Amino acid sequence: MNYFDTHAHYNDEKFEGIVDDVLRRCKEIGVKYIINIGYNIESSIKAIELSNRYKNIYVAIGIHPSDVEKCSVEELEEVYRKYNNGKIVAIGEIGLDYSYTKENKNEQIELFKNQIKLANKLKLPICVHSRDASLDTYTTLKECPAKYGTLMHCFSPTEDLVRLVLENGYMVAFGGNITYKRAASFSRYMNMIPVNQIVIETDSPYLPPVPLRGTLNTSENLPIILDKLSEYKNISKDELSQIVYRNSLEFFNIKEE
């Protein structure tokens, strides 16, 4: 069985000194590809550097809304121009996050829009982070659509976001959060989303699935996420694994070797 982790942060300091061993174990259980995600300028460069060392690692570069005051889109474009190794396949993670503050929401929305415009300029899809901001995420993506694909990261369904996904054929990524108790409320929404619009992710080192809460999350946990997703969708694990794997390759335009 092959796995594709569409969102991980092996550029995170939690993996310093152990990343080689972790990635070796991931490969042993069938993780064929990983999208290593940037969240500011420094982490985007680190993600690219790691992709230079590992054939199966590809990259998304982007500025997370929490770094709205620290980084600029001009700097991000310079990263692309200076470090592009042919493995930058998306702009992300980008989006809106009102969980800590809404005081800078206008700045977040502007940064989000400008990164979408950069993705369109570079002919790349986007990976979207949306937390406690579903309506503004809906509105922003309607006003400033990504031309080359949109993937909703760590998807927590709401009426606004599910409507947006279904109206536009967006991809959604489900991770360890679907194994949590509160995810029982997702059931109705999960059944509304076609399997050809679904991929899986870990958000390593964050959001480890049940029963591994409190541990370092890695791409080795993709089988747990796939198991839970197969329960929600009432599709065999083998069939579902092939579908989400193919969806991932197609979305990021990666030619399997």
- Residue 73 included in any domain: yes
Residue range(s) defining the domain that contains residue 160: 3-251
pLDDT band at residue 105 under the 50/70/90 scheme: very high
Please list, in sequence order, all residues whose beta carbon lies within 8 angstroms of the beta carbon of residue 233, skipping any fewer than 6 positions away.
190, 191, 195, 198, 240
Average pLDDT over residues 174-198: 90
Q: What is the pTM of this model?
A: 0.97
Average pLDDT over residues 190-211: 96
pLDDT at residue number 156: 84
Average pLDDT over residues 137-141: 95
Task: Report helix angle 73-83 to 105-122, nearest 10.
Answer: 30
Rounded to 5°, the CA angle 147-151-152 comes to 130
- Residue 257 included in any domain: no
pLDDT at residue number 183: 80
pLDDT at residue number 157: 86
The torsion angles phi and psi of 47, rounded to 5 degrees, stand at: -65, -40
Q: Encoding tokens for residue 235?
A: 């599709």
**CATH number of residue 218's parent domain:** 3.20.20.140
Q: Encoding tokens for residue 70?
A: 């620290």
Average pLDDT over residues 37-46: 98
Q: Beginning with the edge strand found earlier in the chain, give each strand of the sheet holding 126-131 in spatial order.
A: 3-8, 31-37, 57-61, 88-97, 126-131, 150-152, 171-174, 198-200
Residue among 128, 112, 166 nearest 7 (CA)? 128
pLDDT over 90, % of the chain = 90
Residue 257 has pLDDT above 80, yes or no: no
Number of domains composing the chain: 1
Average pLDDT over residues 96-124: 96
Residue 196 has pLDDT above 80, yes or no: yes
| Number of continuous H segments (helices) and E segments (strands) in the chain | 9, 8
pLDDT in tens, 213-246: 999 999 999 999 999 999 999 999 999 999 999 9
Residue 159 has pLDDT above 80, yes or no: yes
Q: Encoding tokens for residue 210?
A: 């049940």
